[in-house]
Amino acid sequence: MKQLLTIPALFLLACNALAGSADDEAFEKLTFEYIGDLTNFSPANATLIGDHSADSRLDNVDAAARARRRDLYEDYKAALAAIDRNDLTRANQIDAEILHDEIESRLWSLNTLQEWAWNPLVYINLSGRSIYGLVARDFAPIRSRLVSTASRLEQLPRFLEQARGSLQPERVPKIHAETAIKQNRGLVSIIESMVVPEMDVLPSGERNRLDAAIKLAKDAISKHQTWLEEELLPRAAGDFRIGAELYDAKLAFALISPMSRRDVRARAESEYQSVRNKMYEIVRQIYAEMHPLTAFPDDPAEPYKQAIVRTALEKAYQQLPPRDGIVAVARQYLQQATDFVIEHNIVAMPDDPVEIIIMPEFQRGVALAYLDPPGPLDKGQKSFYAVDPLPEDWTDEQVTSFLREYNLLSIQDLTIHEGVPGHYLQIAHSNRYPSTLRSVLWSGPFVEGWAVYAERMMIDEGYLDRDPLMRLINLKWYLRAVTNAIIDSAIHVDGMTRDQAMKLMIEGGFQEEREAAGKWIRAQLTSAQLSTYFVGYQEHIEMRGAVERAWGDEFTLRRYHDQVLSYGSPPVRFVRALMLGEDIPQSVD
pLDDT digits (tens, 9 = 90+) for 223-257: 999 999 999 999 999 999 999 999 999 999 999 99
The arithmetic mean of pLDDT across residues 279-291, rounded, is 91
Calculate the average pLDDT of the chain: 93
Q: Over 90: is that where the pLDDT of 379 sits? A: no
Long-range contacts of 327-334 (CB under 8 A, 24+ apart): 327/356, 327/357, 327/358, 327/387, 329/408, 329/411, 330/356, 330/385, 330/387, 330/411, 330/414, 330/415, 330/419, 331/356, 333/411, 333/412, 333/415, 334/385, 334/415, 334/419, 334/420
pLDDT tens, 184-208? 998 999 999 999 999 999 999 999 9
Residues 233 and 376 in one domain: no
Q: Is 435 helix (H, G, I), strand (E, B) or coil?
A: coil
- Confidence class of residue 11 from pLDDT cuts 50, 70 and 90? very low
Residues 478 and 575 in one domain: yes
Cβ atoms of 248 and 494 closer than 8 Å: no
> pTM above the 0.85 mark?
yes
Q: Over 60: is that where the pLDDT of 7 sits? A: no
What is the structure's pLDDT at 268?
98
* Residue 273: partners with Cβ closer than 8 Å, 6 or more residues away: none
* CA atoms of 447 and 437, how far apart (whole Å): 16
Secondary structure of the chain: what % helix, strand, coil (to 5)? Answer: 70, 5, 25
What is the structure's pLDDT at 6?
38
What is the structure's pLDDT at 588?
56
The DSSP element (H or E) to which 372 belongs, if any, is strand 369-372
Measured in degrees and rounded to the nearest 5, phi and psi for residue 582 equal -90, 170
pLDDT tens, 92-146? 999 999 999 999 999 999 999 999 999 999 999 999 999 999 999 999 999 999 9
- Confidence class of residue 324 from pLDDT cuts 50, 70 and 90? confident
Q: How many CB atoms lie within 10 A of CB 128?
A: 21
Q: Is 303 helix (H, G, I), strand (E, B) or coil?
A: helix
- Whole-number percent of the chain with pLDDT over 70: 96
Residues 548 and 440 in one domain: yes
Residues 213 and 332 in one domain: no
* Residue 133: partners with Cβ closer than 8 Å, 6 or more residues away: 44, 47, 48
482 part of a folded domain: yes
196 part of a folded domain: yes
Q: Over 70: is that where the pLDDT of 329 sits? A: yes
Q: Last residue of a domain, which of 190, 209, 244?
A: 244
Cβ atoms of 423 and 374 closer than 8 Å: no
Residues 234 and 382 in one domain: no
Q: Over 80: is that where the pLDDT of 426 sits? A: yes
Residues 340 and 210 in one domain: no
488 part of a folded domain: yes
- Confidence class of residue 370 from pLDDT cuts 50, 70 and 90? confident
Residues 55 and 154 in one domain: yes
* Residue 340: partners with Cβ closer than 8 Å, 6 or more residues away: 346, 458, 461, 463
Residues 213 and 330 in one domain: no
Q: Last residue of a domain, which of 212, 244, 276?
A: 244
* CA atoms of 530 and 251, how far apart (whole Å): 10
State how many domains the chain has. Answer: 2
What is the structure's pLDDT at 343?
98
What is the structure's pLDDT at 304?
94
Q: Last residue of a domain, which of 219, 244, 269?
A: 244
What is the structure's pLDDT at 3?
37
* CA atoms of 41 and 229, how far apart (whole Å): 30
2 part of a folded domain: no
What is the structure's pLDDT at 363?
73
Residues 374 and 474 in one domain: yes
Residues 224 and 337 in one domain: no
290 part of a folded domain: no
What is the structure's pLDDT at 365?
61
Task: Supply the range of the domain harboring residue 405.
Answer: 326-580
Residues 103 and 237 in one domain: yes
What is the structure's pLDDT at 4?
37
Q: At what angle do helices 444-460 and 243-255 cross, to 10 degrees?
A: 70
252 part of a folded domain: no
316 part of a folded domain: no
- Confidence class of residue 362 from pLDDT cuts 50, 70 and 90? confident
Residues 220 and 338 in one domain: no
What is the structure's pLDDT at 13?
42
pLDDT tens, 500-551? 999 999 999 999 999 999 999 999 999 999 999 999 999 999 999 999 999 9
Q: Over 60: is that where the pLDDT of 5 sits? A: no
pLDDT tens, 18-48? 456 899 999 999 999 999 999 999 999 999 9
287 part of a folded domain: no
What is the structure's pLDDT at 366?
58
The arithmetic mean of pLDDT across residues 200-218, rounded, is 98
380 vs 38, higher pLDDT:
38
* CA atoms of 62 and 85, how far apart (whole Å): 35
